[in-house]
Structure formats: C-alpha cells, structure tokens
Amino acid sequence: MTRYDVTKHELAEMMPGEPAYRSEQVWRGLHLGLSAPEELTVLPLTLRGRLGADARLAPGFELEEEAESSKGRTLRWLLRSTSDGVLVETVVMKYRDRSTVCVSSQAGCAMACSFCATGQMGFRRHLRAGEITEQVVLAARACRDRGWGRLSNVVVMGMGEPLANYANVAEAIKRCNGELAIAARAFTLSTVGIVPGISRLAREPLQVNLAVSLHAARDELRSSIVPINRRYPLAQVMRACEDYAAKTQRRVSFEWALIAGVNDGRADSLELARLLRPLAGLAHVNLIPLNPTPRYLVAGSSRRVVGRFRDELLDRGVNVTVRDTRGQDVGGACGQLAGGAQAASIRRRV
C-alpha cells in the first residue's frame, strides 16, 4: 500500500487523536493540492513529520528517467515502483487547448501483440489503483509546475491491458474523477478488445470514452498480430462495441497502427469500413503509423500511404483522424523506455 491506495477512512485512522478537519486537510492536500504529506504546511510540524515518515503514505514510484521532447511539449517518465522495483511509463502531453496524461495500468502486458514493445516484454504485475492514480497526480503536478494549465485529460493507453486489471483501473478513474476533479468524460480507456470487460464497462455509471485497438478487420490477420483475437474474435468485439455505443450513446474509437505492407492496403480499408458500418456515426478511427520496435522490424506506413488509407475511409463515410506520433522523439512507442531499461539491466547482469 502506498500514498494513493489509502482511503479517506484509513487516513483518518492513521491520525488518532487529531480533530476530523486535520485528516480532511491531508486528504485535500494529497489530491487537490497534489502534495506530499511533508509539504503540507497547514499542518503542525510534528504531525507533518509523522505523516511524512509513515510508510503507508510513501510515494508508490520514484523517477528513474525523464525525457523531454525538443519542443518541450511531451514529457516521458520511466517510473520505478518503490515496493518491488517494476518499471512503468507515463507520458504527459501539452496541446494547445489541453494537457493529457497517458498512464500505464500494468507493469508489462500479457497480450503479446507482436508489434508492441510492452507486449514483447511480457507481464510483470497489475498496478494497484493507487499506483494508477499516482501517475495522474504526478502529471497534474508537472502541468502545474510548468505552466501547462490544468491537467484536463487522462488516457489509459500506456503499458498494460486495462480491462485485464478492471477493478484497479475503475477505482483509479473514480478516485481521479471524484478527488482530482477530472471530468469522467475526459478519460479514455484503450483496450485490445477484452469482450467481457467492454460489456462490464458499458454497465458502469462512468462516462469514459472507449478506444479499441483493432489494427486488422479480418480474423486471420488480426490473430497473427493481436493474439487475443483468437479468444475474442472480431464479431464478438464488434458486437460488444455496438452494445457499448447503444447503452452509453458515446462514440467508440478504433485504433489502427498502419504497418507497411501488412494492414495498409486498399482491401484493408474496405474491410474496416465494412466492419464499422453497423456503428455508423458512432465509430471513429484513429490512424497512426507504426512505431518500429526491437522485435518487430516492420516499418510504419509512409505519409503517402497513410493519406491514401485515410481518404479511402473518408470516401466510405468513416470518421477518421491521423494521429501524430508524439513521443517518437523521446524514446519511441510505449514500452520502449521500460523495454530499453530492462535490456540494459540484463546486459549489466551478464
């Protein structure tokens, strides 16, 4: 248990003999104030010292490495767990009208998507709700310190498969929504397509945006790059998405990493448009050229091909956006920093 795993009730119990307003001050300081206990100058010095030394309120992560893009609009952190040393990545992005954090939901990932650096590294463990929340707090603090305005958006798109760690992810979203005052609609959860998880999310009162990593619109191809497709094939994934859109009246996004010669042909865009037809205006496609990773040495599609693919979708009435590849200048695709650090420590060991 670390700082943001503690509940309000547990926090009050950690401060016996103190008036109730004190634990309220600490709670607000940790969340709205984005502060560590030892920084809470509203508290008497002895209490501040006592809370600062309490292991249950220790930070869950220490900063292992920080990379900042040349234009200074993207911050990428490699964080090391203070409890067991696992590594996770968090990315903070400043846009003209908003600031977004991309958080990890697991250390590593068990989904083994062939092109993904995190997938290539394998699964370490689930992150606790407090560890997911702490990434958001750190990002909100960085935004405040850098004058980037208020952290407005949270995307659960970092390392790991969030719907395989459902309870912790849902709890973290609720905590950030309730205590950090980030609007529920400002959260986006990206999944590889865990069908029961999508159905469960559709029944939650949370109004998060759902993004599904599709990458292929026919089972044979999708199973070869996204192995979980064998367990949850496209027809089931799409039915769950249609149900999600119907229940929540929210748009569903579909991620498509364009891989040269693999999923960027005319037949692929046709298949995709056909697959999305039942969702009509409630589907939105995000195209992103693949970021090459160490164990999947296939290139991302060229700009020309990305443009052609986009136009083919537009011609068929599909909503589509080409995403910029933020982060390439600060260590590449998600999982690459952690993967790199892991490789380095393996090299050091031998």
How far CA 200 is from CA of 191, 240, 278, in Å, comes to 13, 10, 21
Q: Applying CB under 6 A, which of residues 168, 253, 293, 301 lies at the interface with ligand SAH?
A: 293
CA atoms within 13 A on the CB side of 60: 21
Instruction: Note the helical H segments in the chain.
Output: 8-13, 20-30, 45-53, 117-121, 129-146, 166-179, 195-203, 219-225, 234-248, 266-276, 303-315, 336-349
Q: Is 89 a catalytic residue?
A: yes
Which x/- pattern, by CB under 6 A, does the window 132-171 give for ligand SAH? -------------------------x---x----------
Catalytic annotation on 161?
Answer: no
Shortest CB 4 distance to ligand SAH, Å: 21
Shortest separation between residue 160's beta carbon and ligand SAH, angstroms: 6
Q: Read out DSSP for 229-272?
A: GGTS-HHHHHHHHHHHHHHH---EEEEEEEBTTTT-SHHHHHHH
Query: Is position 257 an interface residue for ligand SAH (rule: CB under 6 A)?
Result: yes
Contact with ligand SAH (CB under 6 A) among 225, 252, 333, 337: 333
CA distance 78 to 76: 7
Residue 52 buriedness (CB in 10 A; 0-12 / 13-18 / 19+): middle
- Candidate list 89, 131, 255, 312, residue with the active-site label: 89
Beta carbon of residue 288, minimum distance to ligand SAH (angstroms, whole number): 5
| Residue 255 binding ligand SAH, by CB under 6 A | yes
- Note whether 192 binds ligand SAH by CB under 6 A: yes
Q: Report whether 82 contacts 100 (CB < 8 A).
A: no
Q: Is 301 in the site for ligand SAH (CB under 6 A)?
A: no
Q: Which stretch binds ligand SAH (CB under 6 A): 68-76, 174-182, 189-197, 245-253?
A: 189-197
Find the shortest distance in angstroms from Cβ 187 to ligand SAH. Answer: 13
What residues line the site for ligand SAH (CB under 6 A)?
Answer: 111, 113, 115-116, 157, 161, 190-192, 213, 255, 257, 288, 290-291, 293, 333-334
